[in-house]
Copies of this chain bind each other. A is one copy, B any other.
Amino acid sequence: MREAQSTITIPFHDIDVMRIAWHGHYVKYLEIARCALFDDIGYNFPEMEASGYAWPVIDLHIRYAYPLNFQQKIIVKAKVVEWENRLKIKYEILDEASGKRLTKASTVQVAVNIESKEMLFESPPILLEKLGVLE
C-alpha cells in the first residue's frame, strides 16, 4: 500500500485572528502530501493528464483535533486506502517535535476521461499499474 509524507512549516499568512492556522488552509497541506505520494508512484498531474485522465476530488473530510500554530513544523502522512473504483487517500497530520497526531483527513478522487468528460466507475489500469497493484 502506497504511502508518502511531507514536512511543512506553518507560514504567517495561514494564521488567523485566533492565532491558529485557518481551517481552510489544511486542504493545501493535504495536497502537498498527496502530490508527494503521486510523485513517488510517477503519476502526478502531468502524467495524469498525459494518460488522458483528470482526477478531481469528489469528497473531502477533515477532523481537526488540535490547532496548528505559527511556525509549527508538521508531518503530513498520505496513504492510499482504496483504488479499484475510486482513489481514496487517508491523511494524518502530526506535530514533528512530539509525534502527536493533530488532525485526520481523507479525500476521494475519481478518474474523469479528459476528452469525453465522462466519469469512470472503475479506475483505469494506469492507476493500478502505477500503484503496483496490477495482478
**A27-B27 in contact (CB<8A):** yes
**A13-B13 in contact (CB<8A):** no
Q: How many copies does the complex hold?
A: 4
Of all chain B residues, which has the CB nearest A16?
A: B15
Which residues of chain B have C-beta atoms less than 8 A from A65's C-beta? 58
Q: Does A17 contact B (CB under 8 A)?
A: yes
Q: Does A4 contact B (CB under 8 A)?
A: no
**B61-A60 in contact (CB<8A):** yes
CB distance from A74 to the nearest CB of B (A): 15
Compute how far the CA of A54 lies from the CA of B18 in the bound complex, rounded to whole angstroms: 8
Which residues of chain B have C-beta atoms less than 8 A from A17's C-beta? 12, 15-17, 19, 45, 70
